[in-house]
Amino acid sequence: MPRYALLVEYDGAPFAGWQRQADQPSVQGAIEAALARLEPGPHTIAAAGRTDSGVHARGQVAHADLAKDWTPFRLQEALNYHLKPAPVAIRAAARVSEDFHARFSAGERRYLFRVLNRRARAVLEAGHVWQVQKPLDLEAMRAGAAYLVGKHDFTTFRSTMCQAKSPVKTLDALEITERETEAGREIRFALRARSFLHNQVRSFVGTLERVGAGAWAPEDVARALAAADRAACGPVAPPQGLYLMGVGYPEDPFG
């Protein structure tokens, strides 16, 4: 059966997450239902990352096996037609080899977390940023983030429900920038790693927010990391500011 890679963008607000669920809407379920309109029968797709409820994506990657030999453009157009009005779009489709796997072939995941740092209640950005009203110290957060980069036991920063076999991961980058937007001051956390633990990014951001607010010193991040204890983690940031921006492969399927 021909295998296709799909580059997917979605607004996570109305979904219970990526993974298909029997009684709640999911991104996987929406795409599989669209595939069933093209080729009758059950479909099961796999994704590079199972994003949680409320988490968005600009560059999620999934793969699907189909019976028909579709041209990538026709497949993309047909899926987008049947996905309406769900807030999900197939940005690209590509024919890939049978040994391509959206999750296991991936060599890198890139996430972005957006914080809107202003007093007035967010209206137009609601559901797409985490609003923090108290001013945040950018340099203090950068100093705290530096302790997290590299290979570590990240037990402190993963959910107790995490199913990963090991808490040891390598964080390749955690860059914190700010920009003035029409909505106000926005602080962006850009993270890159081969793979992430469940709730790892949100745990990082929630902890670093405490540093930026002055409740923690940057060195407290190092102590929390060394504790290897979930109880040492700061508050977990909410999901609506998190975006899966892209997935890297040895060869870009969308080329």
Rounded to whole angstroms, how far apart are CA atoms 90 and 34?
11
SS3 percent helix, strand, coil of the chain, rounded to 5, is: 25, 30, 45
Is residue 52 among the annotated active site residues? yes
Q: What is the DSSP string of 180-249?
A: EETTEEEEEEEEEES---TTHHHHHHHHHHHHHTTSS-HHHHHHHHHHT-GGGS-PPPPGGGEEEEEEE-
**N residues, the chain:** 255
Q: Give the Cα separation of 87 and 85 in Å (integer).
A: 6
Of 23, 52, 65, 137, catalytic: 52
Helix axes 200-212, 218-227, angle to 10 degrees: 150
Kindly state the tokens that stand for 33: 């239902």
Q: Are 136 and 213 in contact (CB under 8 A)?
A: yes
- For residue 12, what are its two tokens? 């996570």
Q: Which residues are catalytic?
A: 52
